[in-house]
Structure 1
Amino acid sequence: MTELATLDAYGELIEPATLKIQRLLPGSVDRCWAYLTESELRRQWLAAGEMEMKVDAPFEFVWRNDELSDPPGERPAGFPEEHRLQSRIIELDPPRKLAIAWGTTGGVSFELEPQGDQVLLTVIHRRLPDRETLLNVSAGWHAHLDTLASRARGEQATSFWDRWTRLKAEYGRRLPA
């Protein structure tokens, strides 16, 4: 298990425009896979959207971050109540790896590795086009993965937007300009 695999570890740049962030989650690989691939479970920590489990299958993510915690906190200016992203599956190895196209970036991969009675989830978001996107994505993945970890432990998630805002400032200090 790496040093980064803690409950609230910060992401790191593994290339100039590639973020890697990890979480150690309770439960089995199959349970964590369900949180990645089943719309109703994924909606509780990231975004809804039915996925056909095959390479090149298109799908749509639907974010409603105000619904991830109660209270949601104050949504930052410029963020809509709902956000949609057309995507497709680009790599699939159930229940170990899922990679998806992600807007104008190089895509996102999710890898699951058993660690005793827990699972190491590694998220890698590639080719982030600029610093603002990098900071938004870093704070976003961190806040979303914190929410996933809370849900997986059967706990209530803390205020999503307040956490995101704090994390964006922290990533601004941590990541090289």
Structure 2
Amino acid sequence: MTDMTSLSRHAFMTEPLALTIQRKLPGPIERIWDYVTDSDLRRQWLASGTMPSQPGGTFELVWRNDELSADSAGRPEGFPEEQRMQSEMIAFEAPHRVVFSWPPSGEVSIELQAVGRDVLLTLTHRRISDRRNMVMVGAGWHAHLDILEVKAAGKNPAAFWPAWLRLREEYEAIVPA
């Protein structure tokens, strides 16, 4: 059985140019799988986009971070209202594992493990291009997974951008040079 009492809130390096972050979420696993793979539910914490269930299928993720909470304050200058990314499905193993490309060369895997009534979500982002992007990606996944955690508990999340800005400073301090 996995001990989820000591999970770190921050992402940690698991290999060069890779970050892993975990969250304990209220189950059942099928519910959390839907939050990861269903466009309408994923849009509430990350990005919309219909994911194919077959490896090799392509899809587009669309971020609208201002819409992740009732309070849309604080978008930093230089960040658009909407961002889009073309991706390719690498693995789709319902309800336990999804892996997709993160262009230009990265890869994201999200694994779910039932632990009693809860679900351990483990997200690993591999082949992050450099330290600057590692800081940005770490803060981004941290902020988005915090929103997923709050949404999965049936609560309303705080504004995304102020949390992301604070987390970016934290990751700037903890990601090795």
TM-score by structure 2 length?
0.95
> What letter corresponds to residue 34 of structure 2 in structure 1?
A
Deviation for aligned residue 1:130: 1.1
* Structure 1 residues 95 and 5: CA distance shift in structure 2, 3 A: farther
Cα distance in 1 for residues equivalent to 2:132 and 2:175: 11
Q: How many residues align?
A: 176
The answer for unaligned runs of 5 or more in structure 2 is: none
Query: Does structure 1 retain, via aligned residues, the 8 Å contact 2:139–2:164?
Result: yes
Cα distance in 2 for residues equivalent to 1:164 and 1:88: 26
Is 1:83 the counterpart of 2:83 in the alignment?
yes
**Deviation digits for residues 23-54 of structure 1, max 9, x if unmatched?**
00001110010001100000000000012211
**SS of match in other structure, 1:101:** strand
Query: Does structure 1 retain, via aligned residues, the 8 Å contact 2:4–2:24?
Result: no
Is 1:122 the counterpart of 2:125 in the alignment?
no
Q: Percent identity?
A: 47
Query: Does structure 2 retain, via aligned residues, the 8 Å contact 1:92–1:98?
Result: yes
> What letter corresponds to residue 24 of structure 2 in structure 1?
L
RMSD of aligned residue pairs (Cα, Å): 1.4
Query: Does structure 2 retain, via aligned residues, the 8 Å contact 1:5–1:120?
Result: no
- Spell out the pairing of 1:16-165 with structure 2 (5 A cutoff): 16-165=16-165
Cα distance in 2 for residues equivalent to 1:41 and 1:5: 28
